[in-house]
Chain A
Amino acid sequence: MNSHTNIDRAESLPFGSSRVYENVNNQNVPLLHGNNGYPHESRTVIETPFTETGYSSQPNDATLTEMYPSRTSSDGSVVTLHDNKVEDAKVKLSKLKLKKQPIDLKRVERQRLLRNSDAIKGDSVDAGPQMNSCGKITWRFKGSIKHAFSRINVVRVLNKMVQAQAGGGVTAIFYLIEKLLLLNFLLGLLLLAVLYMDLSADDSSSNNAEACITNCTPTMNCSNESVNLFHTIFEGKGIIESSKLFAGTYSSDAELAYFICVIASGSVSIVIVGEALVNWILMQQRLKSTNCFTIFTPLVFKGWNFSTAKRLNKKADEQHLARELQLMMEAEQLPEIDGFATARKRIIVHLASVFTTLIGLIIVYLCVRCTQILDYFGSSHREVVCQRFLGSFGTSVIIAITVKVADIVFKKLGLMEKRSHHDQLFWLILRGLTFHLMTIGMMAYSELYSVVEDETCSCWETSYAQQIYSMVLLIGVVQVMKLTILPMLRVCIVKAPASLVKCITRHRFDKKVNKFVSKSAPEFKLASNVYTLIRLQTLCWLAIPVSPMMPLLVCLVLFICLLTNMFNVFVLKLRPKLWFGQARASSFFSTALCLSLAVSFLPITNVMFMKKPSSDCTPYRGNEKQYDAVWSSESGPDNVMLLVLMAIIVEILLVILLTAVFCPRVLVVESVHKRRQRKQQSMIVTG
Chain B
Amino acid sequence: MGNKVAAFTEDQLEEYQVCTYLNRQNILRAHRLFRQVTGGDAPKVMNRNATATVTAPFSQLDKLPLLKDNPFRRRICQVFSEDASGNLNFDQFLDLFSAFSDAAPREIKVVYAFKIYDFDEDGFLGGEDLLAAVQHLTHGQLSPEECNSVVKKVLEEADLDCDGRLSPSEFSHTILKCPYFLQNFKLRV
A304 interface hit (Cβ, 8 Å): yes
B117 interface hit (Cβ, 8 Å): yes
Q: Decide: A325 and B146 in contact? CB cutoff 8 A.
A: yes
Q: Decide: B16 and A305 in contact? CB cutoff 8 A.
A: no
B40 interface hit (Cβ, 8 Å): no
Tell me whether A311 and B20 are in contact in the complex, defined as CB-CB below 8 angstroms, given that A680-B173, A684-B173 are known contacts. no
Interface residues of B in 118-157 (CB under 8 A from A): 123, 130, 133-134, 137-139, 141-142, 146, 149-150, 153-154, 157
Bound CA–CA A27/B107 (angstroms): 33
Tell me whether A684 and B169 are in contact in the complex, defined as CB-CB below 8 angstroms, given that A297-B178, A306-B70, A329-B146 are known contacts. yes
Bound CA–CA A319/B141 (angstroms): 7
Query: B59-100, CB under 8 A of A: which get 1 and which 0?
Result: 000000110111110000000101000000001101100101
Interface residues of A in 288-347 (CB under 8 A from B): 290-291, 293-298, 300-306, 308-311, 313-314, 318-319, 321-323, 325-326, 328-329, 332
Q: Decide: B15 and A107 in contact? CB cutoff 8 A.
A: yes
Q: Decide: A296 and B65 in contact? CB cutoff 8 A.
A: no
Q: Decide: B139 and A300 in contact? CB cutoff 8 A.
A: no
Q: Decide: B172 and A293 in contact? CB cutoff 8 A.
A: no
Interface residues of A in 269-301 (CB under 8 A from B): 290-291, 293-298, 300-301
Q: Decide: B138 and A332 in contact? CB cutoff 8 A.
A: no
B43 interface hit (Cβ, 8 Å): no
From A15, A290, A303, give the contact of B113 (CB < 8 A): A303
Tell me whether A302 and B91 are in contact in the complex, defined as CB-CB below 8 angstroms, given that A97-B19, A100-B111, A295-B157 are known contacts. no
Chain B CB within 10 A, most for which of A298, A329, A332, A683 = A298
Tell me whether A104 and B108 are in contact in the complex, defined as CB-CB below 8 angstroms, given that A297-B157, A301-B175, A302-B180 are known contacts. no
Q: Decide: B181 and A103 in contact? CB cutoff 8 A.
A: no
* Interface size counted on chain A using CB atoms at 8 A: 57
B7 interface hit (Cβ, 8 Å): no
Chain B CB within 10 A, most for which of A98, A107, A124, A293 = A107
Q: Decide: B95 and A103 in contact? CB cutoff 8 A.
A: yes
A102 interface hit (Cβ, 8 Å): yes
* Interface size counted on chain B using CB atoms at 8 A: 70
A127 interface hit (Cβ, 8 Å): yes
A86 interface hit (Cβ, 8 Å): no
| Residues of chain B within 8 A of A329, CB atoms compared | 146, 149-150, 153
Chain B: which residue is nearest A298 at the CB level? B178
Query: B17-46, CB under 8 A of A: which get 1 and which 0?
Result: 111110000000000000000000000000
Tell me whether A322 and B142 are in contact in the complex, defined as CB-CB below 8 angstroms, given that A297-B178, A305-B184, A311-B69 are known contacts. yes
A115 interface hit (Cβ, 8 Å): no
Q: Decide: B94 and A103 in contact? CB cutoff 8 A.
A: yes
Tell me whether A110 and B15 are in contact in the complex, defined as CB-CB below 8 angstroms, given that A103-B91, A103-B94, A303-B113 are known contacts. yes
Q: Decide: A300 and B187 in contact? CB cutoff 8 A.
A: no
Bound CA–CA A200/B185 (angstroms): 56
From A98, A303, A323, A583, give the contact of B108 (CB < 8 A): A98
Bound CA–CA A309/B141 (angstroms): 19
Q: Decide: A309 and B153 in contact? CB cutoff 8 A.
A: no
A96 interface hit (Cβ, 8 Å): yes
| Residues of chain B within 8 A of A76, CB atoms compared | none
Q: Decide: A306 and B184 in contact? CB cutoff 8 A.
A: yes
Tell me whether A302 and B153 are in contact in the complex, defined as CB-CB below 8 angstroms, given that A107-B19, A319-B141 are known contacts. no
Bound CA–CA A310/B68 (angstroms): 9
- A219 CB to nearest chain B CB (Å): 61
| Residues of chain B within 8 A of A318, CB atoms compared | 137-139, 141
Q: Decide: B176 and A97 in contact? CB cutoff 8 A.
A: no
Bound CA–CA A127/B14 (angstroms): 12
Bound CA–CA A100/B99 (angstroms): 9
Chain B: which residue is nearest A310 at the CB level? B69
| Residues of chain B within 8 A of A291, CB atoms compared | 177
From B14, B71, B115, B176, give the contact of A304 (CB < 8 A): B71
B158 interface hit (Cβ, 8 Å): yes
From B114, B142, B176, give the contact of A677 (CB < 8 A): B176
| Residues of chain B within 8 A of A305, CB atoms compared | 180, 183-184
Chain A: which residue is nearest B145 at the CB level? A329
- B118 CB to nearest chain A CB (Å): 8
Q: Decide: B113 and A126 in contact? CB cutoff 8 A.
A: no
Q: Decide: A98 and B107 in contact? CB cutoff 8 A.
A: yes
Chain B: which residue is nearest A111 at the CB level? B15
B168 interface hit (Cβ, 8 Å): yes
From B91, B176, B177, B185, give the contact of A303 (CB < 8 A): B185
Q: Decide: A294 and B174 in contact? CB cutoff 8 A.
A: yes
Tell me whether A303 and B19 are in contact in the complex, defined as CB-CB below 8 angstroms, given that A294-B157, A684-B173 are known contacts. no
Main secondary structure of the interface of B (DSSP, over half): helix
Query: A634-661, CB under 8 A of B: which get 1 and which 0?
Result: 0000000000000000000000000000
| Residues of chain B within 8 A of A308, CB atoms compared | 69
- B22 CB to nearest chain A CB (Å): 10
- A365 CB to nearest chain B CB (Å): 45
From B18, B52, B100, B114, give the contact of A110 (CB < 8 A): B18
Bound CA–CA A329/B179 (angstroms): 21
- B168 CB to nearest chain A CB (Å): 6
Bound CA–CA A19/B149 (angstroms): 39
Interface residues of A in 510-527 (CB under 8 A from B): none
| Residues of chain A within 8 A of B149, CB atoms compared | 329
- B140 CB to nearest chain A CB (Å): 8
Q: Decide: B154 and A296 in contact? CB cutoff 8 A.
A: yes
Query: A68-105, CB under 8 A of B: which get 1 and which 0?
Result: 00000000000000000000000001001110101110
Bound CA–CA A532/B187 (angstroms): 37
| Residues of chain A within 8 A of B158, CB atoms compared | 294, 297
Q: Decide: A306 and B138 in contact? CB cutoff 8 A.
A: no
Q: Decide: B184 and A303 in contact? CB cutoff 8 A.
A: yes
Interface residues of A in 169-187 (CB under 8 A from B): none
| Residues of chain A within 8 A of B21, CB atoms compared | 97
| Residues of chain B within 8 A of A15, CB atoms compared | 111, 168
Q: Decide: A124 and B174 in contact? CB cutoff 8 A.
A: no
Bound CA–CA A381/B10 (angstroms): 89
Bound CA–CA A304/B136 (angstroms): 10
- A300 CB to nearest chain B CB (Å): 5
Tell me whether A302 and B184 are in contact in the complex, defined as CB-CB below 8 angstroms, given that A294-B174, A308-B69 are known contacts. yes
Bound CA–CA A298/B114 (angstroms): 14
Q: Decide: B117 and A301 in contact? CB cutoff 8 A.
A: yes
| Residues of chain B within 8 A of A319, CB atoms compared | 141
Q: Decide: A97 and B20 in contact? CB cutoff 8 A.
A: yes
Q: Decide: A309 and B137 in contact? CB cutoff 8 A.
A: no
Q: Decide: B66 and A103 in contact? CB cutoff 8 A.
A: no
Chain A: which residue is nearest B114 at the CB level? A14
A-B contact pairs, 20 of them (CB 8 A): A100-B107, A103-B95, A110-B15, A295-B157, A297-B157, A297-B174, A301-B113, A301-B174, A305-B184, A306-B70, A308-B69, A311-B69, A318-B137, A325-B150, A326-B142, A326-B146, A680-B173, A683-B169, A683-B172, A684-B169
5 more contacts with CB within 8 A, not counting A100-B107, A318-B139, are A96-B19, A110-B19, A329-B146, A676-B176, A684-B160
Closest 4 CB pairs of A and B: A322-B141, A303-B184, A106-B19, A296-B153
